[in-house]
Structure 1
Amino acid sequence: MKTAAERMREQLRTPRVMTSISLRVPERVIEDLKEIAPMLGFSGYQSLMKAYISQGLRKDLEKLEGSNVAALTESLRKQGVPDEKISAAIAEAGLKTA
């Protein structure tokens, strides 16, 4: 299994395939994103949203890196257990992911 840093370096080397999604977001959140995006150096609110998502994802990947929960999660996925059930079980058990 690659580390989060290795995956990040690999992602930076290869072109990223993008896909379109629909996401329902409160209007006020969009207004706030549009207001602060230029202040943070972003060309628009969608770029800022992508940055927030990437930042949160990297944080969670780093927390999970090397943990027993990560190994168990991967094993359960391979056995066909849906992510929603895995997440619920981790939360119910009060397991730490770091």
Structure 2
Amino acid sequence: MHAQHARIVDWGGWATRGAPWLDCGYWLIAAGHHPRAAEQLAGGVAVWRTATRDGADAFATGKAAMWAGIGGDDPDPWTRKLVQASAAWHTYRVSAAS
């Protein structure tokens, strides 16, 4: 991110119950950060540090499957961005576990 730009995250898009760390890294990836950088930035948020490796892996896998299903064969640009971000995070988590 550049100092002269700001990003707004709509946290309330799909309000659900879950671990408080769930979206910390994901939305940083959707905003354009590489998954490794997003997780490092999220590390500055206390709730992210409560995430387990298995939990983050499962969430990344679930997000990738969810957005792939929502995106279908021809997603709109916003949905395509989320499909790509979730796939990138899933790929990063899988490769980091190897």
Name the TM tier (shorter chain). Answer: under 0.3
Whose radius of gyration is greater, 1 or 2?
1
Normalised by the length of structure 1, the TM-score is: 0.26
Identify, as 1 or 2, the structure richer in helix: 1
Greater relative contact order (Cα 8 A, min sep 6): structure 1 or 2?
Answer: 2
